C-alpha cells in the first residue's frame, strides 16, 4: 500500500552549503509561522553551539504541509565528525535533497553522505544552491555532480536525477536558470512528484525503528522513529526488541511533527515519523513492535570511531573552584548518558577509576562534547587525541583521511611542504578561479594539530575539509611539536614584571594578574626543550626604585588558545584542564623534580 499524503526526505550536503537556510525558507513559505511572529535566522539550529559556530551538530525533524501532503523533513549535519547522525536518520526517509554550492561544487562530505544515500537506494534530487553568487559556475558544478554519481556507482534510475536551481536565502527555486521564480514552489512540486510515497503494510502488526532519542524533563526519554509497518496508538501495548532480549512496555504519549512543534495525536499510521514517551530504557537501533506478533527490524550499521582521548577528573590545585560537577561519579554518569543518544561515540572504563577512554569520529566530534559538558558545569582534564589502530591480516593499520584544501596559488608551496612531513600523498589538483583545490590522502594522526598551522601558513585564506578514507598499513613516524613548553614552577599570581622578564623566551599564553600553579603550561618556548620559569616574580622595592616603575614596561599580547587549539597543541605528557570558566594547559606530572626524574629514566 502507498500512503500518498506523506513524503519523508532528508536534506544532505557539505557544511555551509545552505541546508538549514533552505529548511527555514520552506517553513516560512508554507505557513508555519504567524505573520507577526519574530523568527530567528537558521531556526533549526536550536542549541547555542550550533548558533555560535553556524553548523548543524544534531539532526532534527520538522514537517510542512504543501498541497494537502505532509512533508517530513530531516535536517542533517554537514561535518564528517557527525556522520553517525546522518547514517541513522537516512533510515527514516524515502528520498534525499542533495544540496551543492553553485561555486564550490561537490565537496568531501557531499561524497560521504551521498554514498550512504545511494547504498540505501534512496531517490536523490539535486539542488544547486546559491545561484545568486557572482562567481557561480552552475554548468561545471552539474558536470561534477554527475561524475560523482558515476564514481559512487549509482544505478541508472539514480543517475537520471532531477536538478533544481535555488537561492535558499532569497527563498526561490527554478527548474532552469533562465526561468523566473518568486518562491520555492517549483522545488516543492518536484518533491511531491519524484520522492516516492511510503509503502508497506498499513494493517499489519506494528514495527518502528528507533533512530533518535530525546530527553524531556517532564516525561523522560522520548524515542523518535518511523512507522515501517502498521499503526501506533496511544496506550498501545508493545514489545521493545534489543537483539534476543524482548521487553514489554506501553506507549505513553504519541506525537507527530507539525512545523517546529510536536503535536500530540491518538493514532499515527504507516510512514509517519513519530515521537513516543513512556517506553523506559529504549535505545537507538532497537525495534518497537506489536505485543502479539513482535518482529525485529535489521539493526543500523554505524561506522567505527577513529580517534580516542582520555577524560579524567580534574586533579589540578584549582580543582573544584569553578565547576559544579567535579567527581568521577558525575563524569561517569554524564559520559554514559551521552552514548545513549550519540551513537558514534564509545566510552570505556580504564584501570584508573577517575579516568575514561572516549572514542569518536574526529577532533570536532570530541571537542563539541567537551564544550557542551563545560557549559553544563563540569570540570575535567583531557589527554592528547590518539588515533585508533587496527590489526588487519597480522599487520598494524592506521586510519587515513581524504583531505581537500582550497588555497590561493601563492600558498601552494608552504602547504605542500607542511603536508609532506605529515606523510600526505597528493591525489588530485584542480584550479578554481584564483584558487587551487588540492586533494590528499593523509594519516589521521597527521591532521592532529595541522589546522592552526594551516591557517597561519595561508594567512587565514585557506579552507580545509577532511573525511574518513579507510585503514592502510602504518606509515611510519610523524614528527610532533617542534617547540617545548614554558612551565610555571610555583603557584601564585602572574605579574607584569614577571611576564616581562620571561617573554623573550617564547610566546606567552597568560596575562598579568592571572592565577597559575606549579606544572601549568604558560607559554611556548622558542626552543625544543621545556623550560621552567617564574611568571609571578615581583620587583623588590628599594631606595633606588619603586614598584610603580612597572608601568613603563611593554608586554606582548598573549596567545589565547581555543579548546580545539589546546587539544591540537598538547603532547603526550600534557593535559588540557577544562572548567566552565577556563581552559588551561598543564603537565600530567605537576611536580618539577618528579618530571626531571622521569625524563632521566626514559633517556637511560
Binding residues: 16-21, 129-132
Residue 280 · residue 221 · CB < 8 Å: yes
- Alpha carbon 433 to chain centroid distance? 30
**Cα 56 from Cα 42, distance rounded (Å):** 10
Backbone angles phi, psi at 22, to 5 degrees: -65, -40
Q: In this structure, what are the phi and psi dihedrals at residue 104, rounded to the nearest 5 degrees? A: -70, -30
Cell numbers at 376, concatenated: 553544563
Closest to 274 in 3D by CA, of 76, 72, 120: 72
**SS3 track for 283-335:** CCCCEEEECCCCCCCCCCCCCCCCEEEEEECCCCCCCCCCCCECCHHHHHHHH
Give 394's DSSP letter. T
Query: Helix or strand or coil: residue 9?
Result: strand
Angle between helices 138-151 and 108-119 (to 10 degrees): 50
The contacts of residue 456 (CB under 8 Å, 6+ apart) are none
> Residue 95 pairs with which residues in a beta bridge?
9, 123
Report the C-alpha gap between 450 and 296 in whole angstroms: 45
In sequence order, the β-bridge partners of residue 401 are 442, 468
Rg (CA), the chain: 27
Rounded to 5°, angle at Cα 481 from 478 and 371: 105
Question: Three-state SS for 375?
Answer: helix
Q: In sequence order, what E strands does 153-217 have?
A: 163-167, 172-174, 207-216
With beta carbons less than 8 A apart as the criterion, state whether 315 and 381 touch: yes
Q: Residues marked as binding for GTP?
A: 16-21, 129-132
Quote the DSSP letter at residue 558.
P
Round to whole Å and give the CA distance between 98 and 162: 11
Q: Name every residue whose Cβ is closer than 8 Å to that of residue 477 and which is 6 or more positions away in sequence.
A: none
Q: Would strands 123-129 and 95-101 be described as parallel, antiparallel, or unpaired?
A: parallel
The three grid cell numbers given for residue 201, joined into one nine-digit string? 503494510
Residues listed for the chain: 604
| Residue pair 75/56 in contact by the 8 Å Cβ criterion | yes
Got the DSSP string for 77-116? Answer: --SGGGHHHHHHHGGG-SEEEEEEETTT-S-HHHHHHHHH
Q: At a CB cut-off of 8 Å and minimum separation 6, what does 575 contact? A: 312, 381, 382, 383, 585, 586, 587, 588
Judge contact between 291 and 239, C-beta under 8 A: yes
Amino acid at each position: 500500500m502507498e500512503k500518498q499524503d506523506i513524503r519523508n526526505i532528508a536534506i544532505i550536503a557539505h557544511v555551509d552549503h545552505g541546508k538549514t537556510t533552505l529548511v527555514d525558507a520552506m517553513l516560512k513559505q508554507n505557513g508555519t509561522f504567524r505573520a507577526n511572529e519574530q523568527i530567528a535566522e537558521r531556526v533549526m539550529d536550536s542549541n547555542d553551539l550550533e548558533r555560535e559556530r553556524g553548523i548543524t551538530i544534531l539532526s532534527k525533524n520538522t514537517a510542512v504541509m504543501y498541497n494537502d501532503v505532509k512533508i517530513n523533513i530531516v535536517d542533517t549535519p554537514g561535518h564528517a565528525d557527525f556522520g553517525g547522525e546522518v547514517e541513522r536518520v537516512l533510515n527514516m526517509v524515502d528520498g534525499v535533497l542533495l544540496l551543492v554550492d553553485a561555486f564550490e561544487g561537490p565537496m568531501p562530505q557531499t561524497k560521504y553522505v551521498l554514498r550512504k544515500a545511494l547504498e540505501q537506494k534512496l531517490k536523490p534530487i539535486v539542488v544547486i544552491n546559491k545561484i545568486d553568487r557572482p562567481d557561480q559556475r552552475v554548468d561545471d558544478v552539474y558536470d561534477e555532480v554527475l561524475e560523482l554519481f558515476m564514481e559512487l556507482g549509482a544505478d541508472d534510475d539514480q543517475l537520471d536525477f532531477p536538478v533544481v536551481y535555488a537561492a535558499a536565502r532569497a527563498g526561490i527555486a527554478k527548474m532552469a536558470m533562465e526561468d523566473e521564480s518568486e518562491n520555492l514552489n517549483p522545488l516543492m512540486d518536484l518533491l511531491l512528484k519524484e520522492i516516492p510515497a511510503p509503502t508497506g503494510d498499513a494493517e499489519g502488526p506494528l514495527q518502528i525503528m528507533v533512530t533518535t532519542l530525546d530527553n524531556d524533563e517532564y516525561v523522560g526519554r522520548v524515542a523518535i522513529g518511523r512507522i515501517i509497518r502498521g499503526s501506533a496508538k496511544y496506550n498501545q501495548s508493545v514489545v521493545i526488541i534489543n537483539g534476543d532480549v524482548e521487553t514489554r512496555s506501553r506507549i505513553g504519549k504519541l506525537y507527530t511533527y507539525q512545523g517546529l512543534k510536536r503535536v500530540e495525536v491518538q493514532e499515527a499510521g504507516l510512514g509517519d515519523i513519530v515521537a513516543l514517551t513512556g517506553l523506559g530504557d529504549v535505545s537507538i537501533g532497537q525495534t518497537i513492535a506489536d505485543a502479539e506478533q513482535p518482529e525485529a527490524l535489521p539493526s543500523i550499521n554505524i561506522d567505527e570511531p577513529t580517534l580516542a582521548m582520555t577524560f579524567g577528573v580534574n586533579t589540578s590545585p584549582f580543582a573544584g573552584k569553578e565547576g559544579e560537577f567535579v567527581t568521577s561519579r558525575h563524569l561517569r554518569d554524564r559520559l554514559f548518558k551521552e552514548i545513549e543518544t550519540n551513537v558514534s561515540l564509545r566510552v570505556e572504563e580504564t584501570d584508573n577509576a577517575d579516568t575514561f577512554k572516549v572514542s569518536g569520529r574526529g577532533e570536532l566530534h570530541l571537542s563539541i562534547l567537551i564544550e557542551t559538558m563545560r557549559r553544563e558545569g563540569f570540570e575535567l582534564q583531557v589527554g592528547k587525541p590518539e588515533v585508533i589502530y587496527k590489526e588487519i591480516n597480522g599487520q598494524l593499520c592506521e586510519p587515513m583521511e581524504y583531505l581537500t584544501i582550497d588555497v590561493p596559488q601563492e600558498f601552494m608551496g608552504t602547504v605542500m611542504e607542511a603536508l609532506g612531513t605529515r606523510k600526505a600523498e597528493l591525489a588530485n589538483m584542480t584550479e578554481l578561479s584564483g584558487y587551487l583545490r588540492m586533494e590528499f590522502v593523509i594519516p589521521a594522526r597527521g591532521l592532529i594539530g595541522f589546522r592552526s598551522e594551516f591557517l597561519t601558513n595561508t594567512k587565514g585564506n585557506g579552507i580545509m575539509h577532511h573525511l574518513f578514507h579507510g585503514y592502510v598499513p602504518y606509515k611510519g613516524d610523524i614528527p610532533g611539536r617542534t617547540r617545548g613548553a614554558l612551565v610555571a614552577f610555583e603557584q601564585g599570581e602572574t605579574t607584569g614584571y614577571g611576564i616581562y622578564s620571561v617573554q623573550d623566551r617564547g610566546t606567552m599564553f597568560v596575562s598579568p594578574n592571572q592565577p597559575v600553579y606549579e606544572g601549568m603550561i604558560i607559554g611556548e618556548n622558542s626552543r625544543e626543550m621545556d623550560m621552567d620559569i617564574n611568571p609571578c616574580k615581583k620587583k623588590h622595592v628599594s631606595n633606588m626604585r619603586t614598584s610603580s616603575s612597572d608601568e613603563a614596561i611593554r608586554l606582548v599580547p598573549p596567545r589565547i588558545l581555543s579548546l580545539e587549539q589546546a587539544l591540537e597543541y598538547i603532547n603526550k605528557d600534557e593535559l588540557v584542564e577544562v572548567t566552565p570558566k577556563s581552559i588551561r594547559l598543564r603537565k600530567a606530572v605537576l611536580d618539577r623534580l618528579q618530571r626531571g626524574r622521569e625524563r632521566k629514566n626514559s633517556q637511560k
